Amino acid sequence: MTVATQQELVERIWERDGTVWTGSDEDRWLGWLDEPKRMRERAGEIVEFATRARSGFDTFVLLGMGGSSLAPEVLKRTFGAQQLHVLDTTHPAMIRHAEKSLDLSKTMFIVSSKSGGTLETLSHFEYFWEKTGGHGDQFIAITDPGSSLEQLAKARGMRVFAGEPTIGGRYSALSPFGIVPAALMAIDIERLLEGGERMAEACRRQANPGLQLGLQLGERWREGRDKVCITETEGNFGLWAEQLIAESTGKQGRGLVPAPGESPDGPDRQPADVQLGDPLEIGAEFFRWEFAVAVAGAILEINPFDQPDVQAAKDKTKEVLSSGEDPRPEPAGSLDELLARAEPPNYIGIQAFIDPMRERELQSLIDRGHKTGCVVTHGLGPRYLHSTGQLHKGGPPTGLFVQVVDETGEEIPIPGQDFGFGRLIRAQAEGDYRSLRERGRPIVRVRLEDL
C-alpha cells in the first residue's frame, strides 16, 4: 500500500466512509473515534460519583460479559486494584465463592450490558439483588439508552450511566463501560483519557501508530501469518485485545487468531507488541489497537463491527434451556486423535466451562497442545463466547477445539427463571458444542478431572 493510499485510508476512516470495509452499516459504528474526547467532558461527573461511592462501599463487583467485562478486568490487573471484582462466569462455584468472600452489605454492584439483555448479567443481577435485599443505592447500571436494563434500573432507583449507541461492545474500553469501573478503582481517568485522546489525534496523521499496527496485521495475514502472538503484560492486555481481534476479524472464513503470550516463531505467526511503559498509557494503547483492527478489517475486506455468528451459541443455549433438558456434558471424541492430526496452520482452542479458580489445571492440556507445534489458545466459558466465539465459528476452518467441563456442584437457583446457574453453564457448554459441530468444526470434550 503506497503512502498516498495509506493516507487516503486514514482520511476515509475519519470521514466515516463505510465503503472502507463492506459498505453495509459500518458508518453507524464509528463513535469510538470520538469517545476519548467525549468522555473527558464527562470525567468530572464520573470522578465525583466514584469518590462518593468509595466512601460508602469497600468493594465493587462488576456483572458483565465480553466487551462489558474485559477492559475492566485488564484495568484491574494492570493497576493491581483489589477493590474491584469482575464476575463473568455462570459457574456455581464462582457464585458461591463471591458470596462467601464478600461482605455484601459493603459491596456495590455494577450491572454492565450494552444491549441490556445479556442473559448471564441479568441472572447475576437478579441473584445479588435478592441476596442484598434490593437496595437501589447499592447497584448502578451501565447500558445504552432505551435498553430494558435502563428501564429496570430506573424503576429500582439505581444510578444509570448511558453508553454511546454508536460503539460496539469490543470498542467500548474508553466509554463508560471501561471508564466508570476505572474511576471506582481510583484510577486517574483524566490522564487515561488524555492518553486516548492524544492517540486519537496521532491516528489522524500519516504513518500513525494505529495505521502501522493495522497494516502489519493485515499484510502479514496476506502472507499466511494469521496467528497474532500478542506480547504478554502483567495486566494481561491480551485478554482484552483477544476479543477485539477475534470478534472483529473472524468471519466469512477468514480472520486473525489472537494468541496472547504465544511464541511468534513459526510460519503462520506474527508478533504484536503492546506498548505500555506507564500503566496510564493504557488509554492510548486501547485506542491504538482499536484503530489498528479497523485498518486490518479493511485489508481482510470484512465488516469489523458486526458479529454474525455470536448469536448461534446463544440460540443453541436457549434451545437447550427451553426444551427442559438438563444436559450433563459427557466426554466425547478422542483427544489423542485430535492432537495427532494437529499441525500448522491449525490452532488448538481450549474452551473450558470450569470453575475459574481451577484454571491452572488446564496447563497440562496446554503443554500437550504445544507439543504439536501449533498455537494454543484457551478461554473460560461462557466468557469466551462473548470474545473469541465469533472467530471459532466464522473464522478460518483451522481450529481444533477441546471443550473442558467439570462438576458444577450443588445448584444455585436464579430468581425469576426455571433454571439455575449450574444448568445454565451446562446448557451453554452443550449449545456451543452443538453449534461448532453443525459448522463442521472438529471438537472433542473432556473432563477436567481426566486431564
DSSP structure string for 113-176: -SSS--HHHHHHHHHHHHHTT--GGGEEEEE-TT-HHHHHHHHTT-EEEE--TTS-GGG-TTSH
Mean pLDDT of the chain: 96
Instruction: Kindly indicate the confidence band of residue 433, based on its pLDDT and cuts at 50, 70 and 90.
Output: very high
Residues 125-159 have pLDDT tens digits of 999 999 999 999 999 999 999 999 999 999 999 99
Residues 311-353 have pLDDT tens digits of 877 888 989 899 988 888 999 999 999 999 999 999 999 999 9
The residue with cell 492510548 is 284
The residue with cell 459498505 is 23
Whether this prediction's pTM lies above 0.85 is answered by: yes
The residue with cell 483427544 is 335
The set of residues, in sequence order, having a beta carbon less than 8 Å from that of 342 and lying 6+ positions away, is 348, 369, 372, 373, 374, 400
Q: Which of 73, 154, 85, 60 is nearest to 116 (CA)?
A: 154
C-alpha cell at 436: 461448532
Task: Quote the percentage of the chain above a pLDDT of 70.
Answer: 100
Specify which residues 228 forms β-bridges with.
258, 270
* CA 391 to mean position of chain CA atoms: 12
Q: Which of 94, 93, 144 is nearest to 85 (CA)?
A: 94
Q: Exposure pattern of 177-213 as b/e (b: 16+ CB <10 Å)?
A: bbbbbbbbbebbbbebbbbbbebbebbeeeebbbbbb
Amino acid at 116: G
Domains of the chain with CATH codes: 3-19+208-300 (no CATH), 34-187 (3.40.50.10490), 310-450 (3.40.50.10490)
Q: Give the C-alpha distances (Å, rounded to integers) separating 289 from 35, 208, 254.
A: 14, 12, 19
**According to the model, what pLDDT value does residue 315 have?**
87
Specify which residues 377 forms β-bridges with.
349
Determine if the peptide bond prior to 258 is cis (ω within 30°). Answer: no
Residues 223-259 have pLDDT tens digits of 999 999 999 999 999 999 999 999 999 999 999 999 9
Q: Which run of H or of E encompasses 53?
A: helix 35-56
- Measured over the CA atoms of residue 50, residue 78, residue 361 and residue 122, the dihedral's sign is positive
DSSP structure string for 266-301: STTEEEE----SSGGGHHHHHHHHHHHHHHHHHHHT
Query: C-alpha angle 13/218/312, rounded to 5°?
Result: 85
Do 300 and 243 form a contact (C-beta atoms < 8 A)? no
Residue count of the chain: 451
